[in-house]
Amino acid sequence: MSKPPHHLLDNILWHTLNGQHACFAAGTSEARRYAKGFSPILGFADAQRPDFAALLPFCDAGEHFYCSGWTGTAPLGWCIDAEGAMFRMVWDGDLPQVDAAFTCVRLDGGHAPQALALATLTNPGPFGLRTIELGEYLGCFEGDRLIAMAGERMCAGVYREVSGVCTHPDFQGKGLARHLMNRLIRRQLLAGETPFLHVMSSNTIAHQLYLRMGFRDYCETPVRVVSRL
Question: For the chain, what are the domain ranges?
Answer: 8-86, 89-219
Task: Tell me, rounded to whole angstroms, the distance of Cα 131 from its chain centroid.
Answer: 10
- What pLDDT is attached to residue 6? 52
Q: Which of 138, 150, 147 is nearest to 206 (CA)?
A: 150
- What pLDDT is attached to residue 5? 45
pTM for the whole structure: 0.95
Segments of the chain scoring below 50 in pLDDT? 1-2, 5
- What pLDDT is attached to residue 20? 97
Please tell me the distance from the alpha carbon of residue 38 to that of residue 59, in angstroms, as a whole number. 13
Neighbours of 76 (CB within 10 A): 9
Please tell me the distance from the alpha carbon of residue 126 to that of residue 116, in angstroms, as a whole number. 10
Q: Which of 10, 32, 11, 35 is nearest to 24 (CA)?
A: 35
89-219, what's its fold? Aminopeptidase (3.40.630)
| Cβ 83 vs Cβ 66: under 8 Å | no
Q: Which residues does residue 197 pair with via DSSP β-bridges, in sequence order? A: 89
**Sheet order of strands, 25-27 included:** 25-27, 31-34, 42-44
Q: Which of 204, 222, 208, 217 is nearest to 91 (CA)?
A: 217
CB burial readout 183-204, b (16+ within 10 A) else e: bbbebbbeeebbbbbbbbeeee
Pairing state between β 159-167 and 194-200:
parallel
